[in-house]
Structure 1
Amino acid sequence: MVDLESDGPQVEEEIDPLDAYMNSKVLPEVENLSNKNDILDSNKDGKGNGDQPKKGFNKSLGRIMQGEDSDSDYSEPNNDDDPSLDEDDEDFMKRVKKTKAEKLSPVDHSKIGYEPFRKNFYIEAKEISRMTQEVVNAYRKELELKVHGKDVPRPIKSWHQTGLTTKILDTMKKLKYEKPMPIQAQALPIIMSGRDCIGVAKTGSGKTLAFVLPMLRHIKVQPPLEAGDGPIGLVMAPTRELVQQIHSDIKKVAKALGLRCVPVYGGSGVAQQISDLNRGTEIVVCTPGRMIDILCTSSGKITNLRRVTYLVMDEADCMFDMGSEPQSTRIIQNIRPDHQTVLFSATFPRQVETLARKVLNKPVEIQVGGRSVVNKDITQLVEIRPESERFSRLRELLEEWYEKGKNLVFVQSQVKCDALHNDLTTKYGYACLSLHGGKDQTYRESAISDFKSNVCNLLVATSVAARGLDVKDLELVVNFDAPNHYEDYVHRVGRTGRAGRKGCTVTFISEDDAKYAPDLVKALELSEQPVPDDLKAVADGFMAKVKQGIEKAHGTGYGGSGFKFNEEEKDVRKAEKKAQAKEYGFEEEKSDSEDENGVVRKAGGDIPQQLQAILSQIAANAAAAKASVTANQLMPNGDRLAAMPGFPPSDGAGVVAAMVAAANLQHNLAKIQADAMPAQYEAELVINDFPQSSRWKVTHKETLRPISEWSGAAITTRGQFYAPGRVPGPGERKLYLFIEGPSENSVKTAKAELKRVLEDSTNQALSLPGGAQRGRYSVL
């Protein structure tokens, strides 16, 4: 499970001279944190996101570090001196089992005497109490509210009915928040009653304020912080940009109450964050990976979680996917069990909600509008355009929209982001900014600041900007590349049309992207937008191929979109290869790649598709010739002995030639295949006995894709998972990765990176509570 993220390249830290004394004590750990542990800050941007390099990393080792953006900008592999390339698989396993990652130690809460605290401070206003149930139901219907839970408090109609302090109400008035938005009207009384809550509402609907205001009231009734106390309110978010956004929103209202808020995230100077935490703060907004780093530094003396009684997880679906869930869970397990938990997101798939509910206590679920639905105030346009036409169409859109307000263009990769940015600025003179996970933190903060403050009206970004970016006057969002899953689309287009404003989005898709067309049709239908006929035709065509087994529908973008680890699932690719071998009359041989010591072997490539068709035709002709031979009872001299009923007479010499061809077909097929394709190198890595999170991580497309692109080797998942103690049957294999490439070095490079990913994810798994038991494994 990912990051799946450290958030981009590491920048040099600037240490304030006033903090010199503090840094002299923690500097060694800070350096270790910056160079080694930033990988823990791994969260998905949209789907998540993947592996990318750190600034200053040792390129000779070819180390792929985890990043919050799924794109990859790796340099050419240069790993000739890396000893891990030739490391024996058994040695690798022994080393992984011996390595211990720095961890957040589990807490035995039964041995700690926690001070009681107050959760419920909501008093229902008289005008709300007098409402009949019919009136309440009508009001909820008017606000498009759906609630699930027992004894749910009634929604409010004005700020004065919340029970918030006068200072907060005055601040709301200054910020020109006239009345609560739908999610706020229902969430405020629920949260202020001390209930755990799940809030699902469209982008730009005021979710941040819905959990911030109750948090401030919650903190003010707690005893003041003392020396050595950690925060009372903890807000976790998946990306740096969202952490900054939430921190900015909290500061607007917390300042009037004299409450402090500290952002904790990767990429920025950790020394400054440590200094701020040492001074004391009531609220911490963080990414989970960096927060774990801080808690582990200096043996936990910098800050702690003992006083956390109010926990918020924003974009909770992303926090509970297979990338961030181990880190989030690790933090939650270190917070007192009776804390209040609030989860918010614009998208919340059911499979993610099931996992999230494990940390909640009898929660109330609030849903505004549809579940995971695009804001109806956004006009959504989808155009079928090949790659070659998209740039010219983008220029037409910018000519129309550039002067109206801000424009945001989403692309799928870092490379394309930089290329498109360069074309717009150098060739056509647009004032343009770019944003992706490969940029250092200073640049990313500067780009967002300039975009928000009207310094520049055009931003090109990857999905790292899809969640939490709140920019006023954002008029147009262009999906230059179609999003690779539905939830990513909802969050991308949700950057416009916020807080009651209108917005417009244009999405480009081509026949090559047909697998994403059903998601776009779904989004348009759920938000009651017209579906273009050509888009509908592409989607229907793709789904027809899925039903026929020709194509395969893509995953949801959450964690397990790759290989499913269960014994019942069949290996489709293996079955297809068996059927093909049977058609050609071959007996399946044991794979050349089964090498216990993990040695890279030279092997031939696959038969090209056209050659396969030719050979299939030859095999059919040979089979017909054999049938003809049998039917006509040939004599040794080639004369026909007698014609069988139903078979026409055949020319003896022609039949003999066909029979000879059939006899030589199997002998010559291997030579034809070897001559048709250049030599390939292959290796394999058995992953069956690693922890489930490690298997999931190393088979996920966001891990395999950048490694494959960087090394030039193809990586496929083969075999099936066998639980401990179960032995594979004849002809079956335990779960393993098959690696093949055009050169020995490319295969070695890919395998070394896969080992490192396994090692990192296994260390994380072992550091979780109960991880020691899960870590007892061996690889055959």
Structure 2
Amino acid sequence: MSAATSVATSAVVSTATFAELGVPEVLTGLLRASGITVPFPIQAATLPDSMAGRDVLGRGRTGSGKTLGFLLPVLTRLAATPRKRRPNRPRALILAPTRELATQIHDAAKPLADALGLRTAVVFGGVSARPQISALRSGIDLVIACPGRLLDHVGAGHAILDAIEITVLDEADHMADLGFLPMVKRILDATPAGGQRLLFSATLDNGIDQLVRRYLSNPVTHAVDSQHSEIPDMTHHVLHIDAEHRLPILIELATAPGRTIVFTRTKHGARKLARQLAAARVPAVELHGNLAQNARTRNLAAFSQGQATTLVATDIAARGIHVDDVSLVVHADPPVEHKAYLHRSGRTARAGNSGTVITLMTDAQVGEVRDLTRKARITATTTRLAPGDPLIGTLAPGERSLADPARIATLTGSAADLTRPGPAGIVPSAGKPAQRRRRGSVRSGSGDGHAAGAARKSADSVAAAGSARSGGKPVRASGAPSAGSGGAAKASQRFRGRAR
């Protein structure tokens, strides 16, 4: 399929409503009931072209509203041309780089699709393939998938892509970073060349430009911001500390009201720090690639629903995770490169909210952090301090409170564990490493990974949890890859703050 260079670029922000942009009333009503009445810039820019069937390249950072930007036209166009469902032959496909992102997209799509009489399913590795096979066999309109597991189903004949009318690539640059482009190309080659294709990416490097040239036909490009655009309500601080003060300062930050995400460089570091915080009676859970799927689901759900106020994670959580009202992001370990800094930091100050980003820096990391902030093009205030400094209370304000040990025990281990230090003074964790997968025609852990194996772990290991909710209202966190869960009545819980 030959593809011309993008013929138009738009940075103009429209003032049109969803209805004026062509979204049907049944969907605008659901959005309105969830408090979503004004389109985000990326939605206002792309909807006229995507609704008209044009190929679209949307450029915008994570959290800019891309999810509704492609869900609304995909579902609207499917509903406008109803067809009899055929087993194993979905009509539309959305590709996402991680399990967690695929699930969040599905949770956003499900109530909208239900209102239009459409069926959806989500497909990813790390879980049983049988419910996915059953959903595909029953006939669905839209499948949201990670590349590896989808290719497993294609190879086994459970998914046939010759009826795909619309294909969406979400966070294409992240798929490229994880080494997924060869799989993405195989999938796109299996879809009809004349179908509509929507590609959303923060950048056009790492081969994304090749995808655009090869698979998008005469695309319209809409760039509403760039990867270096600073969010006005996000403030950046670097705390210059002594290495031995790292944990006490993290405890001071994490005990402030509100949700906090703490990033570490390694899986071992995330696990150790989560245990240390829990031992200090901070309600913290961990999220990294060494956790089994049920542990990742449980931990992210606990953080989303407010049972845990601190999530300690590796860079696997830097993309695709959306949790309402994350007020603070802490780089306990500075990331190795500036893109990771921007993506980590993007977990806060989303959907018009404000947020604070703090990087902890030791003497040995001064040059590294200086280069990091320069390449990220952010201006950070650097302060040398020790535990107890009043600035900590300013950056993470509010009355400090420590959780009841019995409450933390339900999240991280037994009550005895929390009072009995383990090796290196830390407490054991309830999260167990993933077990060796069983043999089968479709491997439960095979999906969504790089052929070399390294990318497989990082890309497809984030929890398959439901979208986050604030205000103490619980939200379902489901790892089930079946053809759907919940219903239109849950639309308000699923949408608010999540028009990404």
Task: Tell me, yes or no, whether TM beats 0.5.
Answer: yes
8 Å Cα contact 1:373/1:490 also seen in 2: no
> Would you say 1:350 and 2:205 are equivalent positions?
yes
> Would you say 1:520 and 2:373 are equivalent positions?
yes
Residue of structure 1 in register with 2:482 after alignment = none
1:413 to 266, 272, 276: 266
Question: What letter is aligned with 1:177?
Answer: I
> Would you say 1:431 and 2:431 are equivalent positions?
no
1:246 to 96, 101, 105: 105
1:277 to 129, 136, 151: 136
* Cα displacement string for residues 383-402 of structure 1 (whole angstroms, at most 9, x for unaligned residues): 23354332122122123x2x
Change (3 A) 1:386 1:296: farther
Residue of structure 1 in register with 2:95 after alignment = 236
Question: What letter is aligned with 2:24?
Answer: T
Separation in structure 1 between the aligned mates of residue 11 and residue 330 of structure 2, nearest angstrom: 41
1:233-312 equivalent positions in 2, closer than 5 A? 233-297=92-156, 300=157, 302-312=158-168
1:172 to 25, 31, 37: 31
8 Å Cα contact 1:305/1:334 also seen in 2: yes
8 Å Cα contact 2:262/2:330 also seen in 1: yes
8 Å Cα contact 1:237/1:287 also seen in 2: yes
Separation in structure 2 between the aligned mates of residue 522 and residue 435 of structure 1, nearest angstrom: 27
* Cα displacement string for residues 245-285 of structure 1 (whole angstroms, at most 9, x for unaligned residues): 11111113222111111110111121111111111111111
Change (3 A) 1:290 1:406: same
* Cα displacement string for residues 16-45 of structure 1 (whole angstroms, at most 9, x for unaligned residues): xxxxxxxxxxxxxxxxxxxxxxxxxxxxxx
Separation in structure 2 between the aligned mates of residue 252 and residue 226 of structure 1, nearest angstrom: 19
> Would you say 1:211 and 2:67 are equivalent positions?
no
Separation in structure 2 between the aligned mates of residue 234 and residue 417 of structure 1, nearest angstrom: 34
Offset, 1:524: 4.4
Offset, 1:229: 5.0
8 Å Cα contact 2:91/2:163 also seen in 1: yes
SS in 2 for 1:379: strand
1:567-582 equivalent positions in 2, closer than 5 A? none
Residue of structure 2 in register with 1:479 after alignment = 331
Change (3 A) 1:531 1:430: closer
Change (3 A) 1:521 1:442: same
Offset, 1:482: 0.8
* Cα displacement string for residues 559-600 of structure 1 (whole angstroms, at most 9, x for unaligned residues): xxxxxxxxxxxxxxxxxxxxxxxxxxxxxxxxxxxxxxxxxx
Residue of structure 2 in register with 1:664 after alignment = none
Change (3 A) 1:364 1:329: same
Give structure 2 stretches of 5+ with no counterpart: 385-449, 459-500
Residue of structure 2 in register with 1:501 after alignment = 353
8 Å Cα contact 1:372/1:487 also seen in 2: no
8 Å Cα contact 1:156/1:162 also seen in 2: no
Offset, 1:349: 4.6
* Cα displacement string for residues 437-465 of structure 1 (whole angstroms, at most 9, x for unaligned residues): 11111111111111111121111111111
> Would you say 1:198 and 2:57 are equivalent positions?
yes
Offset, 1:506: 0.5
Normalised by the size of structure 2, how large is the TM-score?
Answer: 0.72
Offset, 1:228: 2.6
Offset, 1:322: 6.5
Change (3 A) 1:214 1:156: farther
SS in 1 for 2:8: coil
Residue of structure 2 in register with 1:422 after alignment = 275
Offset, 1:429: 1.4
Residue of structure 1 in register with 2:44 after alignment = 185
Offset, 1:406: 0.8
* Higher helix fraction (1 or 2): 1
Separation in structure 1 between the aligned mates of residue 164 and residue 294 of structure 2, nearest angstrom: 30
8 Å Cα contact 1:374/1:493 also seen in 2: no
Residue of structure 1 in register with 2:314 after alignment = 462
Separation in structure 2 between the aligned mates of residue 531 and residue 366 of structure 1, nearest angstrom: 33
Residue of structure 2 in register with 1:611 after alignment = none
Offset, 1:194: 1.8
Change (3 A) 1:449 1:352: same
> Would you say 1:150 and 2:8 are equivalent positions?
yes
Offset, 1:380: 1.2
8 Å Cα contact 2:173/2:205 also seen in 1: no
8 Å Cα contact 1:268/1:442 also seen in 2: no
Change (3 A) 1:533 1:408: closer
Separation in structure 1 between the aligned mates of residue 263 and residue 383 of structure 2, nearest angstrom: 24
Q: Let me know the Cα RMSD of the aligned residues.
A: 2.6
Change (3 A) 1:697 1:260: closer
Change (3 A) 1:457 1:326: same
* Cα displacement string for residues 738-777 of structure 1 (whole angstroms, at most 9, x for unaligned residues): xxxxxxxxxxxxxxxxxxxxxxxxxxxxxxxxxxxxxxxx
SS in 2 for 1:320: helix
Q: Which has the higher contact order (CA 8 A, sep 6+)?
A: 2
Q: Tell me the percent identity.
A: 32
1:488 to 340, 363, 375: 340
SS in 2 for 1:159: coil
Residue of structure 2 in register with 1:319 after alignment = 175
Question: What letter is aligned with 1:468?
Answer: G
Question: What letter is aligned with 1:270?
Answer: A
Separation in structure 2 between the aligned mates of residue 436 and residue 271 of structure 1, nearest angstrom: 25
Separation in structure 2 between the aligned mates of residue 531 and residue 522 of structure 1, nearest angstrom: 16
Offset, 1:306: 1.2
Separation in structure 2 between the aligned mates of residue 348 and residue 395 of structure 1, nearest angstrom: 36
Residue of structure 1 in register with 2:254 after alignment = 398
8 Å Cα contact 1:159/1:169 also seen in 2: yes
8 Å Cα contact 1:267/1:441 also seen in 2: yes
Residue of structure 2 in register with 1:367 after alignment = 223
Question: What letter is aligned with 1:238?
Answer: P
Change (3 A) 1:229 1:454: same
1:450 to 289, 292, 302: 302
Question: What letter is aligned with 2:134?
Answer: S
8 Å Cα contact 1:265/1:291 also seen in 2: yes
Separation in structure 1 between the aligned mates of residue 149 and residue 291 of structure 2, nearest angstrom: 18
